[in-house]
Structure 1
Amino acid sequence: MKEFVLLTLLAVSVSAAPASATAAADAGRQWLAGDHHVHSEWSVDWDRSTTPPTPIRGGDSSYSRSRNAAQARDFGLSWMVHTDHGGPGHSAVSRDHAYPALVQARVDVPEVIQFNGMEFDVPAGEHASLIIAPGPAERDQLVTAERDFSRSEPLQGSRDTEQQMQAALAHLQRLNPAPLMFINHPSRTATGLGQWGEVTPEELRGWHAAAPNVLVGMEGAPGHQAIRAERGLYRNADAPTLGGYDQMTTQVGGVWDQMLADGVRFWITANSDSHVNLRDGGRDYDPGEYSKTYAWARPEAEDILDALRNGRMFIVTGDLIDALELRVTGDDVTGVPGDAVTLSVTQMMQVEVRVRQPTRPNARGHRPPLQRIELIVGGRVGDGTLQMQRRGFDVATWAREGDWTVARWSLPVPPRGGFVRVRGNSTGDVEAQMDERGEDPWDDLWFYSNPVFVNVVDTARR
């Protein structure tokens, strides 16, 4: 595992390429910030005194899709996904109202690449962001998926079964081009640390296995970060967010790391879940105001989807950093997030991370300090046990090279292969702390990369 990934986290308009062995494939790519979970006035409420129930425009958000796209642009996003809630017969709302509003928003805010999508009501689960590839079939593909498979669509009866979810995934997997799905706020219904609610680790693995090209990840940092009483709307005091992130992501050696150690290509994202902004009396931030998912892509819808599908992304809150390079280096090999590199177990693995902080204040008007960077390496040992290795860096142990903060680590290649990832924060905390009621989210900021997988020559896993 002498090869580490280069991830260069740049502001939306900056184009600095990672040191990748695939320079030709990376031509024209840059870090493009986005948000895949945004609600509008077409997240309707329902008048259930009528049969069928009558949609009430603006029931869950008063914002138009054009307004949301303009806010995304103003907060530095290059792409976003419109993801309104479903409900009884909502597929007709998607067809007749939400989709025309998307078409208009693309005209009104051409600077932002906008995807058709929805917050899919997962049968036998909770919610997921469903992202449809742009094209002539984008309206009908979403309407069909919602009409035929969404848990909340039927006017009568129930679809809340694992069989229905498997049917939905099979349908989505057959579409060309393939859509994407990310599980939203996976631990929001948990009752404690490691005590799962409507989404379990086994379900994540099973859903991904059923549609590995479609269901590719989960929210590492959920939205609804503005409300201090229940950060992320994780309402159980025994199972809150930690540093604004979901426990499945924050726990070193936890759910996400277990999946990565088994070679599961499963990624994390961050988003706003914007309904109503805090300044308007709501509990949310606008798209890009607090959370960003950076995709390494050309400014084209197809390549952005390819980046999200293949893990070429990192996530950050509060604009703690605006560029990140992560490299795992071996003998003439280098990978990027989402890649797998093959190394000899006789090698030492050289890991380097470089991060850059913005020169401009964030949306709060602050330039938050970077207090800690942590490199994390995981893999299975001989008996199948997960072994995690961690090394933290601070101002006393990292280096400064121009605008970059640099940390390096040399260590043996994991004997059965594994993965490398990096995270950092503004607090100096070694562990992400359980979020408490009333705390200021701007005082507890983190970034996380997606992983680089490491295979070994004699026992390659993939």
Structure 2
Amino acid sequence: MKTFVVNKKQIGLAAVVTLLMASCQQIQLEQKPEQGKSWLAGDHHVHTHYSVKWDNSVFPPTPIIGGDAKYSTALNAQMAAHYGLSWMVVTDHGGPNRAKLALEQAYPELVASRKALPQILQFYGMEFDVPGNSPGGRHASFIMPHSPTEAEQLYQIESRYNGRQGVPPGPEKAEDAFMLQALKAMNELPDKPLLLVNHPARLATGFRQYNKVTPEQLRDWQDTAPDVVIGMTGAEGHQAATLNPDGSTDANAIRGEYPHYPTMGGYDQMTARLGGVWDSLLSEGRHWWVTGVSDSHGHYTDGWADFWPGQYAKTYVYADKNYDSIFAALKAGQVFVTTGDLIDALFVEVAVKNSTKTATAGQTLTVKPDDELVLRVRFRDPNSNNGGGFNPQVQRVDVIQGLITGPVQNRNNDEAPDTKVTKRFYATDWANKDGYSQFELPLGKVSKSQYLRLRGTNNKNELEPEADAKGENPWFDLWFYSNPVFIKLQ
């Protein structure tokens, strides 16, 4: 296959059309399986030109292709592969009759893109409009497992349950209870999908002032369909909103397009706040994962607010390079998220000393009161420039521990007061071996069930993620997060 090298700093539409056409002629049409698990980067929130606007001057409304997102499926896939992704999910917006448009036009384009670009696995999904009293801003990545009937199964859910489907949408879609019906229907599909809540605090009116999406709703949704609802985005899309087309910053622009309360280190406050919403969910023992996405509609060099898929945020899963393995790893929480290519591999292992018993991200280690535990961490900081042309360095890694205390009485609880940073590691604290940085932390004996997760940054002295200022350059404020390892005391 022919290899193309392009400028990673700024790649607009005009610069990639020729690249896409040429590369599609060079690659084989059949995907070859790749053996052996590894960290595979992906993006589960990518829009194509089938994220349409609607012409409401006619009845029924007609779609305006390219109205709310600019690029074809194949162009998104080509650029995702260029920026190191192995997989992505097409998640176009809904609308009055989007289900029919998706089935008849968008899905065939996806099938063609899969054949043209088999090196990147392209899942079928949509950005589900969550029914409820305030549907605006309530979105979730709805991801179908790869199957011959994926399009028909998604159509079945979208045509009946999507919040904006219908002319007009039925009155039942204004009720929160209808979302629970939708989740039950998803759970009953022959191939169960996955649902991750997108930008959950984007419309929060302030710090801990949740709007549209609340901690109570997150709990309700997962309790209704625990095999479907698996988490939320942490590293949000629209991170290039503060960049002008020439790469300079706009002093008045808001990173991530969070209008009322900003992201924190590029992450939604529900993820970034220590002892906050995410930790509150984990303290119940919930399997609740966080991810990172582009939410790409159009590239900032074309006057939009986004990076290409994989250019800035990446969700890594530990899997074989095939659809089933990637889907299973995402569901199981064998996941970490990073921005700016701060790292490209992360192994977090809790082990019982002098034993073969271990657990990694998404797993549970069952221990006895007299077991001595140790945390082992290995991560790889790539020695290469990222999508912004920089080569950032990990300056600090935080080990975060929280207790598992069981279900909360207040379903809207957003606090886990026992969660803390147990230890901060700096560059002088880890050893380098075979391209990896590594360290250990003795955990001793535990008297309570708990969980452990990691967080790292290129900002040595920013001990907690700070609220992002207007005009901030996203390339200078980078973080990674692991998903948790659970420790269950017998």
**Any idea what SS the aligned residue of 1:453 has?**
strand
Q: Could you say which residue in structure 2 is the equivalent of 1:273?
A: 295
Residues 380-414 of structure 1 show CA distances to partners (whole Å, capped at 9, x for unaligned) of 46999742232111123333334222232112444
How far, CA to CA, are the matches of 1:102 and 1:180 in structure 2?
19
The higher relative CO (CA closer than 8 Å, separation ≥ 6) is in 1
CA contact (8 A) 1:418 1:453 kept: yes
Query: Are 2:140 and 1:132 equivalent residues in the alignment?
Result: no
TM alignment of 1:224-239, pairs within 5 A: 224-228=238-242, 229-236=253-260, 239=261
Q: Tell which deviates more after alignment, 87-96 or 347-356.
A: 347-356
How far, CA to CA, are the matches of 1:359 and 1:341 in structure 2?
33
Structure 2 portions without partners, runs of 5+:
1-34, 243-252, 409-415
CA contact (8 A) 1:427 1:444 kept: yes
Q: Could you say which residue in structure 1 is the equivalent of 2:154?
A: 142
Q: Tell which deviates more after alignment, 322-331 or 259-268.
A: 322-331
How far, CA to CA, are the matches of 1:74 and 1:380 in structure 2?
41
Q: Could you say which residue in structure 2 is the equivalent of 1:197?
A: 211
CA contact (8 A) 2:42 2:314 kept: yes
Q: Could you say which residue in structure 2 is the equivalent of 1:450?
A: 483
Q: Could you say which residue in structure 1 is the equivalent of 2:192?
A: 178
**Any idea what SS the aligned residue of 2:427 has?**
coil
Q: Could you say which residue in structure 2 is the equivalent of 1:19?
A: none
Q: Could you say which residue in structure 2 is the equivalent of 1:79?
A: 87
Query: Are 2:435 and 1:403 equivalent residues in the alignment?
Result: yes
**Any idea what SS the aligned residue of 2:239 has?**
coil
The residue identity in structure 2 corresponding to 1:453 is F
The residue identity in structure 1 corresponding to 2:164 is S
* Count, aligned residues: 430
**Any idea what SS the aligned residue of 1:396 has?**
helix
TM alignment of 1:14-413, pairs within 5 A: 28-124=36-132, 126-156=138-168, 157-158=170-171, 159-228=173-242, 229-236=253-260, 239-330=261-352, 331-380=355-404, 386-390=417-421, 391-413=423-445
CA contact (8 A) 2:284 2:406 kept: no
How far, CA to CA, are the matches of 1:337 and 1:296 in structure 2?
10
Q: Could you say which residue in structure 1 is the equivalent of 2:10?
A: none
How far, CA to CA, are the matches of 1:136 and 1:380 in structure 2?
40
How far, CA to CA, are the matches of 2:382 and 2:163 in structure 1?
42
| 1:36, distance to aligned residue in structure 2 (A) | 0.4
TM-score, structure 2 as length reference: 0.85
Percentage of identical aligned residues: 43
The residue identity in structure 2 corresponding to 1:448 is Y
How far, CA to CA, are the matches of 1:450 and 1:65 in structure 2?
29
CA contact (8 A) 2:284 2:407 kept: no
The 3 A distance-change label for structure 1 pair 411 and 118 is same
Residues 79-99 of structure 1 show CA distances to partners (whole Å, capped at 9, x for unaligned) of 110000001111111111111
CA contact (8 A) 2:282 2:404 kept: no
CA contact (8 A) 1:226 1:283 kept: yes
Structure 1 portions without partners, runs of 5+:
1-26, 458-462
| 1:222, distance to aligned residue in structure 2 (A) | 1.1
The 3 A distance-change label for structure 1 pair 118 and 383 is closer
How far, CA to CA, are the matches of 2:444 and 2:190 in structure 1?
42
| 1:415, distance to aligned residue in structure 2 (A) | 2.3
CA contact (8 A) 2:46 2:297 kept: yes
How far, CA to CA, are the matches of 1:434 and 1:399 in structure 2?
32
CA contact (8 A) 1:289 1:363 kept: yes
Q: Could you say which residue in structure 1 is the equivalent of 2:247?
A: none
**Any idea what SS the aligned residue of 1:226 has?**
helix
How far, CA to CA, are the matches of 1:235 and 1:389 in structure 2?
29
| 1:416, distance to aligned residue in structure 2 (A) | 2.3
CA contact (8 A) 1:173 1:213 kept: yes
Q: Could you say which residue in structure 2 is the equivalent of 1:427?
A: 459
How far, CA to CA, are the matches of 1:150 and 1:265 in structure 2?
25
Q: Could you say which residue in structure 2 is the equivalent of 1:416?
A: 448
TM-score, structure 1 as length reference: 0.90
The 3 A distance-change label for structure 1 pair 381 and 271 is closer
How far, CA to CA, are the matches of 1:107 and 1:222 in structure 2?
29
Q: Could you say which residue in structure 1 is the equivalent of 2:18?
A: none
How far, CA to CA, are the matches of 2:223 and 2:393 in structure 1?
40
The residue identity in structure 1 corresponding to 2:219 is R
CA contact (8 A) 2:404 2:451 kept: no
Superposed structure 1 runs of 4+ greater than 3 Å apart: 380-386
| 1:325, distance to aligned residue in structure 2 (A) | 1.4
The residue identity in structure 2 corresponding to 1:186 is P
Query: Are 2:452 and 1:438 equivalent residues in the alignment?
Result: no
Q: Tell which deviates more after alignment, 405-414 or 42-51.
A: 405-414
